[in-house]
Every structure is written in structure tokens, then in C-alpha cells.
Amino acid sequence: MHYFRALVSLLGDIFRNRALLWQMTKRDFHQRYVGSYLGILWAFIQPAVTVLVFWFVFQVGFKSQPVDNFPFILWLVCGMFPWFFISDSLQGAANAILDSSFLVKKVVFRVELLPMVKLMSAFLVHGFFVLVLFLMFAVYGYPVSVYNLQVLYYAAAMFCLCIGISWLTSALTVFLRDVGQLVAMVLQIAFWSTPIFWSLKMIPEEYHFLLKMNPAYYIVEGYRQSFIYHEWFWQHMTLTSYFWGLTIVVLFVGALVFKRLRPHFADVL
């Protein structure tokens, strides 16, 4: 019951302050790139360069063949684009409270908005890359399909998972500054253990269940199911049930930890 109340309380506060959340998101998005000549274009240039590097290394350098009869670059971006959001949002949210400590000390300020601002800011960039995904498939001659709409479901699932993790890590970082570094390290491990630029078929089948325990696997494969394999999420109910079970637990735990630690933020900062 405590977990449920904590989650409802946090979500209620965020909804009531949604106008402020949006204003802070736009301000954060702008401030991240203010002062540079290219401005907010860097939000899109950096991920695009990363994709080009991986494409060059694996397709041009290592001569990677099409995956399941799809061009390697299309298969790659379906995994890279959601990972960009997961990595960017979680790293930003982990230090969200520390970076805005001056706001935390204001009694009337809703601290729970700070991690959400980082997620929303990253989600704006992700929305752009989803449009790029549609454009790339169109350029390669693949028509828009009703399955493509399923990307909205997987984007929402990804956002829900990151909310819970963000509440947990941002609250703990106030008391344990090493949490931010730990998040970066875990993301590095998760990146290489998620089939983003390599196929699960390359791994012996007895190890598949271990890799599928990584929630990022569900999201990455979900994007590919939406654009490449044309499968619905309910066709994989075991994996879907596991993902949402884990996400709900993370949401409840993250909300409770954040709510319990929130009154002490100003004292520590």
C-alpha cells in the first residue's frame, strides 16, 4: 500500500505541475546547447555521428551482411535510436537533483519534476529520431505499415521504465555521489549485452534467457518488430509480462524511495 500511495502521489504532483514541467523541459533543452555555434543541432548531430561510425565499422569495415534480409543500417538504427534515449535520459536524470540543488532548497518547488525534465528533454530528441526512422525506411523502399504504429507503445514502455529508474537513482545520488558513476558503468555493460549491433542468433541458445532479462532487449526488439519483423507485442506475451512486471516493480520502488528521501534533500545539499 505504501508503494502504491507513493507512486500515485508522485504522478499526481507531476500532472498538476505539467505546465511548469513543460517550461522547464524547454529551458533545459535550450540550456544544454546554449553558447555553441550549432546550438540544439548538437542534440541530433552527436547520435547521428555515432550511428555512422558503427555503420562504417561493421558494414564497410567488417562487411556485415544484411540481417534477416534487411539492410544492416536499418536493422542497426532500430536498436540504436531507443538506446540513445535510455542512455541519455538515465545519465541526465541520475544527477538531476544535484545539478539543480538551488531549486531543491526552495520549499515550494516540486523536486520530483527534476528527473522528469531530463526524461522529457531526451524524449524530444527521440521523437525526432523516430521520424528519421520512418524516413530511412521510406528511402530504402519500405512502405509505412500499421505495425509501425506499435513504436508508440514501445516508446511509452521505455519511458515508464526510465521514470522508475530515474526516481531511484536521482534520490540515491544525493546521498551517495558514486551512484551517478555506477549508472554510467551499468549502461556501458547493458549496451554491450543488448543486441543492438549484433544479432541474438550469434549467441548459443542456452544463453538467450539471460540476455532477455535485460529490459532494454524488449525495447530494442520491439522497435525491430514494429519496423522490420512486423510482429505485435502480444505475440510475445512471456517477454511482455516479464518486462511490465519488472517495470511496475521499478516504478513502485523508485517512487517510494524518492518520496521517503525527498524531505532530506535540502539538508544534505
Most confident of 63-72, 121-130, 195-204: 121-130
Q: What is the pLDDT of residues 60-76, one digit of tens each?
A: 666 666 777 888 888 88
Higher pLDDT, 130 or 61: 130
Tell whether the model's pLDDT for residue 244 goes beyond 80.
yes
For 2-17, what is the mean pLDDT? 74
108, 180 Cβ separation under 8 angstroms: no
Higher pLDDT, 61 or 249: 249
| From 11-20, 155-164, 186-195, the region with the lowest mean pLDDT | 11-20
Q: Using 50, 70 and 90 to split pLDDT, how confident is the model at 58?
A: low
Q: What is the pLDDT of residue 8?
A: 74
Q: Which long-range contacts (CB under 8 A, 24 or more apart) does 73-76 make?
A: 73/136, 74/136, 74/137, 74/140, 74/142, 74/227, 74/228, 75/224, 75/228, 76/51, 76/196, 76/197
Q: Using 50, 70 and 90 to split pLDDT, how confident is the model at 39?
A: low
CA 79/CA 184 separation, integer angstroms: 19
Higher pLDDT, 27 or 118: 118
194, 214 Cβ separation under 8 angstroms: yes
CA 127/CA 116 separation, integer angstroms: 16
Tell whether the model's pLDDT for residue 28 goes beyond 60.
yes
Higher pLDDT, 207 or 108: 207
For 256-262, what is the mean pLDDT? 87
Tell whether the model's pLDDT for residue 215 goes beyond 60.
yes
CA 83/CA 196 separation, integer angstroms: 8
Q: Name the DSSP class of 63.
A: -
Q: Using 50, 70 and 90 to split pLDDT, how confident is the model at 176?
A: confident
For 175-191, what is the mean pLDDT? 88
Kind plus residue range of the DSSP H or E element containing 247: helix 237-261
